[in-house]
Copies of this chain bind each other. A is one copy, B any other.
Amino acid sequence: MAKPQFNQEHILTQASSAFWRFGYHATSMQHVFAATGLKPGSIYLAFGNKEGLFKASLDHYTQQSLLRIRNKLSQSPSVEQGIFDVLMEFVNESCQADYCSCFLVKSQLELGSHPELLQYVSTRLKQIETLYCEFLQQNHPIEEAQIKATSLMLHIFGIRVYGYHSQSKEQILSALESSLPWLPWTKLKH
């Protein structure tokens, strides 16, 4: 064997970041070579082709997202409080200068006409919904948990799009409070 294989974590971090910010089509392999400092052959040996690298990037992002949500919901005094905190994080992200929404949501819309990648993205978004649903089942019958989880995903998708509008934080918060009354808003009011 030659030099042990390059750091896959490093390249996936860089590739995810590029695909996330610029999208699948606007990110060229040459950009990836430049960002990672690696040569074409290395990346093609490890990931096969651009699609393979993209899938691995999606996986990397999804695992981090699932972990982040799981930690937040586990460590909160209640599931509702944890969900509320996660939502607030999403809203606050949208205020940052380099905001670039959610990698999975962006990919879902960009690759709507690419059945294989679309399926790959949809599966991962469903994993996230399932995670919320599992936590909600601690407090609610499964049917209600499922409805709340779907409603939550609709709102999260909405935030991911609406967040691009400038100075939207207060508007988003008021709207969320009106349509998600089962979250613990009281501590923020007045």
Residues on A close to B: CB < 8 A? Answer: 21-23, 25-26, 99-101, 105-106, 108-110, 112-113, 118, 122, 125-126, 146-148, 150-151, 153-162, 164-166, 171-172, 174-176, 178-180
Contact = CB atoms under 8 A, between A and B. Distances in A.
A113 B21 contact: yes
Contact of A172 (B25, B105, B106, B150): B150
16 contacts: A25-B25, A26-B113, A101-B109, A106-B109, A106-B112, A108-B161, A108-B164, A109-B109, A109-B160, A147-B178, A150-B162, A151-B175, A151-B179, A154-B158, A154-B159, A154-B172
Given A150-B162, A160-B161, 9 more contacts: A21-B113, A26-B110, A151-B176, A151-B178, A153-B158, A154-B176, A154-B179, A158-B158, A179-B180
